[in-house]
């Protein structure tokens, strides 16, 4: 029943234009990628500096003044040890597995992340722009209000009037037009069900009007009595639909009955009359009637109802039905001199969880905005219903924005103005100062927006260093979804929206709150993983190289054992940190400031290097020197500045014996670090809370993976040091039994020292220790 005319193809079509906008959005590195790049840059600079220092020291000093102490191969071995020490090799694996495990948690919560790198970005989101229809609402339209221009009817009242023998023609026309000017129809298989439960084929607006009309009085054979001979379907440009019908028992010379249904702001200027609900007669649409119409429309809009107007007229066409000029004639002539026969107020009920989701996001410090194509007053009413707008005052509009001169010099944003309503057509005329003012509002609704305007909104907020998440389900949302730091689509949305998004909500809309919680948890746990890896995997591995090169001490830890710590023993324990639950309610905290609160900052370096790292380094070196003294009788002062003297004849030992002592001492250092990391991991799993409040055994913070990971690290240490084949291959050696138990007490000491630090932080929150606490 249609003729298709191709006017534009490919990228020139409307869909193609939206696709081009979406594809043209350049993807920036995610926040976690930037954080990792920043950390790697710092590590590489430090590594190059220390490696260069070792090289120049060997060339300018050791090779000259201590000839025979270190040959080229040994120097390169120390340089390699420096690289291994500074770069925590287990960190890339730990980060990837952390993101993967949190992604699995998201999947269990019906959230599908399409990329691991965007998982953490959710924890930084401070602006959330959400589409309305189908995202905040159920996309189930219901006719809530109905009336004629000068009278509103209760639906029960109209139903009762239709039961009477003498039905007013005004209401009969409304009912007839509701059924005829409608492309929706009931699924035949569901006709036996109650009207609200029947399945409807057609768009949501037509479905709502059909259910309303059918509940008033069944259609019967109305469609066959008023045969449809022509129609112009609804489109977003015209914002109306038109149907033309034969009159019963009349030929074409008597004319046709034409119905037009659509947006009131488009159809009202084309109307010249209306059916009165007071007198039940047709009256002229004068200025007073137009004021009544505007008041009625405003009343419905403020009740969060989308207003649709139904009009009719009779028309005798000049051109033959189906001729080439017929459509142009109908479109030009039949949309003029219309008579208003009904006004609908249609609601799309909010999802039950929407209000709580908005409240949870606001509690988490996230500003929740609505970006929709709906009429401004309707969007504002829904925003107030779900909690996006709070208070009772009317929202500001663009005309209320401060001028550039008013806002000049204001360092602190004015938070007294909370709510703002911006209409899409106004966006193109906004200046930079206007956007600066808009971005300071706490509650914003953008109404009547196009895909390009939605994209512009995201760009403006991102340009002001906000981390923006966008939720949507339609094709029109795709460019904004792609441009946002995190694009979130709902599973019932269009394929284009799902393709453009980074996350897909598979169930209820409130699962986005859980996604934000997990995004913050992944950042917290990543910090714990890094704080755990750095003391042994970096700091305590650097100092053996420093002691060897600059103080002449036999190398206390080999490069092979450094790699074992980084890639095996520490890795398994760090994975147990991934499984840690949140220490406190993460939604009570503000979003992370990605410009200031870095993944690895001075506080973590201070904790990992200057506190835990120093203790582990001292303990491990003490164990090394203790073994050398007890096993070989070589005191500490003899080993320091030994340089080339540590060779054949030193303290009466052969070179082979000295090498064996050094190999065992390196394994003692290695075993000590493995054990000390047990105390470290029990410390870093809680930033503020004592282990007595949140131990890994009791249910609230239970983590069975921790004990398993400790056991695995112990097995690896035993395997590396006790297996004869590996001893020969990698110059390791059997560690005396006492050196397996002494580090346990030292690990407990590290845990107790960190408990004292946490106690000071809790008791004296303004102290220096508290200010530098991670």
- Specify whether 307 is located in the same domain as 363: no
- 694 with 719, same domain: the answer is yes
Place of tokens 């007053």: 377
| Residue 139 DSSP one-character state | S
Please state the rounded mean pLDDT for residues 516-539: 90
pLDDT in tens, 279-334: 889 999 999 999 999 999 999 988 889 999 999 999 999 888 878 788 889 988 99
pLDDT-derived band at 485 (thresholds 50, 70, 90) equals very high
502-527 average pLDDT score: 90
Indicate whether 549 pLDDT > 80. Answer: yes
Arithmetic mean of pLDDT, 338-357: 94
Q: 6-16, pLDDT tens digit by residue? A: 888 887 777 67
CA 494 to chain centre: 19
Residue 147 lies in a domain: yes
Low-confidence winner among 31-45, 81-95, 143-157, 231-245 (lowest mean pLDDT):
81-95
Least confident of 26-35, 301-310, 319-328, 502-511: 26-35
**pLDDT reading at 401 higher than 50:** yes
Higher pLDDT, 579 or 659: 659
Residue 514 lies in a domain: no
pLDDT above 90 as % of the chain = 56
Q: What is the mean pLDDT of residues 206-233?
A: 91
Q: Do 452 and 529 reside in the same domain of the chain?
A: no
- Looking up residue 433, the CATH number of its domain turns out to be 3.40.50.1000
Report how far apart, in Å, the C-alpha atoms of 666 and of each of 42, 115, 621, 673 are.
28, 42, 10, 11
Q: How large is the average pLDDT for residues 543-564?
A: 93
CATH number reported for the structural domain that contains residue 225 in this entry: 3.40.1110.10
Helices (H), 598-703: 602-605, 614-632, 636-639, 655-684
First to last CA, the chain: 70
Are both 363 and 444 inside the same structural domain? yes
Counting beta carbons within 10 angstroms of the beta carbon of residue 46, is it exposed (0 to 12), middle (13 to 18) or buried (19 or more)? middle
Whether residues 133 and 81 fall in one domain:
no
Domain with 391 in it? 126-137+356-403+414-466
Provide the pLDDT confidence category of residue 565 given band limits of 50, 70 and 90: very high
Residues facing residue 37 across a β-bridge: none
pLDDT of residue 416: 45
Distance CA 446, CA 383 (A): 11
Give the confidence band of 407 by pLDDT, cuts at 50, 70, 90: low
Query: Residue 186 is inside which H or E element, if any?
Result: strand 185-186
Residue 696 pLDDT level (bands cut at 50, 70, 90) = confident
Q: How many CB atoms lie within 10 A of CB 215?
A: 15
Poorest-pLDDT segment among 306-315, 383-392, 671-680? 383-392
Token readout for 394 is 């009317």
* 462 shares a domain with 395: yes
200 belongs to a structural domain: yes
Q: Is the pLDDT of residue 413 over 70?
A: no
> What mean pLDDT comes out for the span 117-142?
88
Number of Cβ atoms within 10 Å of the Cβ of 297:
22
In the prediction, which pLDDT does 68 show? 84
Q: Is 34 inside a domain boundary? A: no
Q: Are residues 152 and 241 in the same domain?
A: yes
pLDDT the model gives residue 25: 58
Average pLDDT over residues 43-51: 88
pLDDT for residue 600 is more than 90: no
Per mean pLDDT, which range of 17-21, 106-110, 246-250, 416-420 is the poorest?
17-21
Q: Would you say residue 348 has pLDDT above 60?
A: yes
pLDDT higher at 18 or 197: 197
Tokens 């905290």 sit on residue: 589
Check whether 213 has a pLDDT greater than 80: yes
What is the pLDDT at residue 595?
A: 85
Query: pLDDT higher for 693 or 732?
Result: 732
DSSP H or E segment with residue 504 = strand 503-505
Can 131 be counted among the known catalytic residues? yes
pLDDT at 756: 96
**Is residue 234 in some structural domain?**
yes
Task: Give this prediction's pTM.
Answer: 0.80
Dihedral sign for Cα atoms in the order 34, 39, 43, 49: positive
Flag whether 27 is in a domain.
Answer: no
Residue 313 C-beta-side C-alpha neighbours within 13 Å: 19
Question: What is the average per-residue pLDDT within 159-177?
Answer: 86
Determine how many CB atoms are found less than 10 A away from the CB of residue 196. 9
Per-residue buried b or exposed e for 371-403, using 16+ beta carbons within 10 Å of the residue's own CB: bbbbbbbbbbbbbbbbbbbeeeeebbebeebbe
- pLDDT score recorded for residue 103: 85
Nearest to 481 by CA among 7, 11, 25: 25
Residue 654 included in any domain: yes
Q: Model confidence at 26, in pLDDT bands (50, 70, 90)? A: low
Cα–Cα nearest to 143, from 163, 162, 158: 158
**For residue 519, what are the CA distances in angstroms to 37, 123, 213, 261?**
19, 4, 48, 46
Kind plus residue range of the DSSP H or E element containing 90: helix 90-108
User: Please, are residues 496 and 478 in contact by the beta-carbon 8 Å criterion?
Assistant: yes
What is the pLDDT averaged over residues 155-178? 86
CA angle 20, 23, 28 (to 5 degrees): 145
* Measured CA distances, 514 to 109, 129, 140, 466, 472 (Å): 7, 17, 25, 21, 17
Residue 606 sits in the same domain as residue 673: yes
What is the tens place of the pLDDT at every residue in 367-387?
A: 999 999 888 888 999 999 999
Of the pLDDT bands very low, low, confident and very high (cuts 50, 70, 90), residue 116 is confident
**Tokens encoding 495:** 């394929």
Q: What is the pLDDT of residue 295?
A: 94
- Determine the pLDDT at residue 11: 76
The residue ranking higher by pLDDT, 491 or 403, is 491
**Residue 391, beta-bridge partner list:** none
Looking at the structure, do residues 173 and 280 belong to the same domain, yes or no?
yes
Helix ranges (DSSP H) in 535-654: 540-551, 559-564, 570-578, 602-605, 614-632, 636-639
User: Residue 252 — very low, low, confident or very high, per pLDDT cuts 50/70/90?
Assistant: low
User: Helix, strand or coil for residue 112?
Assistant: strand
Look at residue 386 in the predicted model and tell me its pLDDT: 93
The verdict on 114 and 258 lying in the same domain is: no
Q: How many CB atoms lie within 10 A of CB 550?
A: 14
Out of 131, 206, 477, 510, which one is annotated catalytic? 131
| 533 vs 700, residue with greater confidence | 533
Q: How confident is the model over 661-685, as a mean pLDDT?
A: 97
Are 644 and 756 found together in one domain? Answer: yes
The pLDDT of residue 7 is: 84
673 vs 716: CA distance, rounded Å: 13
What rounded mean pLDDT belongs to the chain? 89
Say if 507 falls within a structural domain: no
Note whether 266 and 398 are same-domain residues: no
Backbone angles phi, psi at 668, to 5 degrees: -65, -45
Q: What integer pLDDT is reported at residue 415 of this predicted model?
A: 46
Number of structural domains in the chain: 3
| H or E element that contains 315 | strand 306-315
With beta carbons less than 8 A apart as the criterion, state whether 143 and 212 touch: yes
Which helix (H) or strand (E) is 244 found in, with range? strand 240-246
Per the listing, tokens 């998201």 go with 106
The whole-number pLDDT of residue 92 equals 81
């Amino acid at each position: 029943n249609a003729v298709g005319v191709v006017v534009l193809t490919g990228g020139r079509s409307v869909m193609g234009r939206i696709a081009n906008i979406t594809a043209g959005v350049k993807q920036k590195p995610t926040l976690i990628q930037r954080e990792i790049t920043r950390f790697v840059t710092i590590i590489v600079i430090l590594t190059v500096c220390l490696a260069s220092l070792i090289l120049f020291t060997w060339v300018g000093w050791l090779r000259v003044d201590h000839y025979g102490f270190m040959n080229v191969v040994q120097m390169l071995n120390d340089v390699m040890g420096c690289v291994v020490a500074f770069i925590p090799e287990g960190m890339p694996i730990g980060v990837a597995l952390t993101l993967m495990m949190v992604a699995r948690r998201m999947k269990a919560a019906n959230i599908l992340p399409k990329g691991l790198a965007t998982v953490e970005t959710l924890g930084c989101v401070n602006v959330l722009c959400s589409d309305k229809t189908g995202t905040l609402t159920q996309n189930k339209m219901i006719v809530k209000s109905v009336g004629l221009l000068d009278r509103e009817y209760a639906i029960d009242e109209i139903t009762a009037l239709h039961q009477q023998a003498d039905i007013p023609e005004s209401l009969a026309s409304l009912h007839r037009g509701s059924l005829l000017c409608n492309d929706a129809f009931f699924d035949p298989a569901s006709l036996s069900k109650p009207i609200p439960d029947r399945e409807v084929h057609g768009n949501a607006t037509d479905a709502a009007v059909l259910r309303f009309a059918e509940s008033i009085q069944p259609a019967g054979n109305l469609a066959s009595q008023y045969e449809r001979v022509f129609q112009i379907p609804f489109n977003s440009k015209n914002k109306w639909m038109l149907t033309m019908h034969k009159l019963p028992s009349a030929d074409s010379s008597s004319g046709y009955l034409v119905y037009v249904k659509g947006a009131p702001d488009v159809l009202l200027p084309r109307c010249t009359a209306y059916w009165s609900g007071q007198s039940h007669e047709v009256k002229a649409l004068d200025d007073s009637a137009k004021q009544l119409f505007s008041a009625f429309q405003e009343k419905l809009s403020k009740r969060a109802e989308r207003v649709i107007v139904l009009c009719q007229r009779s028309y005798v066409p000049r051109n033959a039905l189906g001729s080439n000029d017929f459509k142009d004639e109908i479109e030009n002539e039949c949309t003029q001199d219309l008579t208003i026969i009904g006004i609908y107020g249609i609601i799309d009920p909010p999802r039950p969880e929407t209000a709580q989701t908005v409240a949870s996001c606001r509690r988490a410090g996230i500003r929740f905005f609505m970006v929709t194509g709906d009429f401004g007053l309707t969007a504002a009413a829904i925003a107030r219903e779900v909690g996006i707008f709070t208070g009772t005052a009317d929202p500001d509009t663009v005309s209320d924005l401060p001028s550039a001169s008013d806002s000049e010099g204001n360092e602190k944003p004015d938070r007294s103005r909370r709510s703002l309503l911006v209409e899409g057509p106004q966006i193109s005329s906004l200046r930079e100062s206007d956007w600066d003012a808009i971005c300071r509002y706490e509650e914003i609704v953008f109404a009547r927006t196009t895909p390009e305007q939605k994209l512009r909104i995201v760009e403006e907020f991102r340009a002001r260093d906000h981390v923006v998440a966008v939720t949507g389900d339609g094709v029109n949302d795709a460019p904004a979804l792609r441009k946002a730091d995190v694009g979130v689509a709902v599973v019932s949305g269009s394929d284009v929206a799902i393709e453009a998004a980074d996350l897909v909500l598979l169930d209820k809309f409130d699962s986005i709150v859980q996604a934000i919680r997990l995004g913050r948890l992944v950042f917290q746990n990543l910090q714990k993983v890094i704080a755990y890896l750095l003391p042994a995997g970096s700091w305590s591995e650097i100092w053996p190289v420093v002691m060897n090169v600059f103080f002449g001490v036999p190398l206390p830890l080999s490069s092979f054992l450094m790699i074992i710590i980084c890639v095996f023993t520490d890795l398994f324990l760090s994975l147990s940190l991934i499984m840690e639950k949140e220490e406190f309610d993460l939604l009570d905290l503000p979003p992370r400031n990605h410009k200031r609160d870095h993944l690895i900052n001075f506080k973590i370096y201070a904790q990992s290097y200057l506190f835990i790292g120093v203790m582990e380094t001292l303990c491990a070196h003490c164990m090394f020197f203790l073994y050398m003294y007890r096993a070989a009788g070589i005191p500490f002062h003899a080993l320091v500045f030994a340089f080339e003297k540590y060779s054949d004849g030193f303290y009466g030992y052969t070179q082979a014996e000295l090498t064996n002592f050094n190999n065992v001492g390196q394994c003692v250092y290695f075993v000590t670090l493995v054990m000390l990391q047990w105390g470290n991991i029990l410390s870093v799993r809680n930033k503020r809370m004592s282990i007595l409040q949140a131990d890994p055994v009791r249910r609230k913070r239970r983590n069975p993976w921790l004990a398993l990971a400790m056991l695995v690290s112990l097995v690896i240490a035993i395997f590396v040091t006790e297996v004869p084949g590996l001893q020969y291959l990698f110059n390791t050696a059997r560690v005396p039994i006492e050196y397996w138990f002494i580090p346990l007490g030292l690990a407990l000491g590290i845990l107790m020292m960190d408990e004292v630090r946490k106690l000071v932080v809790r008791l004296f929150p303004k102290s220096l220790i508290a200010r530098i606490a991670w």
